[in-house]
Amino acid sequence: MPASDPFAALQADCARCRALCCVGPAFAASADFAHDKPAERPCVHLGADDRCTIHTRLRPRGYPGCVAYDCFGAGQHVVQVLFDGADRSPAMFGLLPLVRGLHELLWYLADVESRPAAAALHDAARHAAERVTRLAGDPERLRALDLGPERAAVDSLLREASALVRAPHRRRRTRGGFRPGAVLARRDLAGADLRRARLTGADLRGTLLIGADLRGADLREADLIGADLRAADLRGADLTGALFLTRTQVGSALGDPSTRVPDRFPRPTHWLSGG
């Protein structure tokens, strides 16, 4: 990853991929994907040029899951780095989710390195990222990889970084309701009314927020790793500085031009169109 922008190599570049995510995975018809698709069979909307033929109409056609999906640059890495630009092959499909999982860890480690409050952990984060990068570039090791231990090895570092960043908010005292620094990890808050909630620096790791009303909520420097934001209403919410936020989370939520997100996130088109 370039030192100047550690997130740059973790951006999907579909032009350098072979539509692996549109062919390899199996999908069952659901609210996220409009039809059944067997594994290793191209999506019915994949064109001969390996481009989606309904890319600009995915949500209204019943494919919000495709809009939200982010491979963290794993697709082009598998094709260009591990297979030297070869045509799509079944051997690529098994490596895609493994590389994606490792690249997701790199995304989180890059976040740690970007935080002045976590400066004491920057060297450890850099060394961990170097190890994960080497692993992602080794096809033989990848084929035998168990992602669980890799995630566990990085998770302790992410938790330490989260605690450092959120520490100032946890010291603030407020009365009643949701408050800065609140610990709400793994809570079921699906559909909850959290309008204008003061969740600055909150611990929302793994929290279920499907369909939650977060309009006007303050989520600055909240830890959102693993939080499920599908269909959460983020209109007017402030997520600047949110910890471990991903493009998948942003793309699966509802927002509008008043929603504030970190600068490195492209604003989803459905936030502007209302679609």
By the 8 A CB rule, do 190 and 211 touch? yes
113-125 pLDDT, tens per residue?
Answer: 999 999 999 999 9
Distance CA(82)–CA(122), nearest Å, equals 28
Q: Are 194 and 213 in contact (CB under 8 A)?
A: yes
Band (pLDDT 50/70/90 cuts) for residue 73 is very high
Among 93, 96, 45, CA closest to 74: 96
- The pLDDT score that the predictor gives to residue 1 is 41
- At 148-185, the pLDDT tens digits run 999 999 999 999 999 999 999 876 554 445 778 899 99
Closest CA to 76 of 142, 23, 10: 10
Question: What does the pLDDT look like over 11-56, one tens digit per residue?
Answer: 999 999 999 999 999 999 999 999 999 999 999 999 999 999 999 8
CATH 3.30.465.10 holds for 172-275: no
Per-residue confidence band for 269, with pLDDT thresholds at 50, 70 and 90: confident
Say if residue 128's pLDDT is above 80. Answer: yes
**pLDDT band at residue 4 using 50, 70 and 90 as cut-offs:** low
Mean of per-residue pLDDT scores for the chain: 93
Residue range(s) of every CATH 2.160.20.80 domain in the chain: 172-275
What gap in Å lies between CA 169 and CA 148, rounded to an integer? 31
Residue showing tokens 């951006």: 11
Asked whether the whole model's pTM tops 0.75, one would answer yes
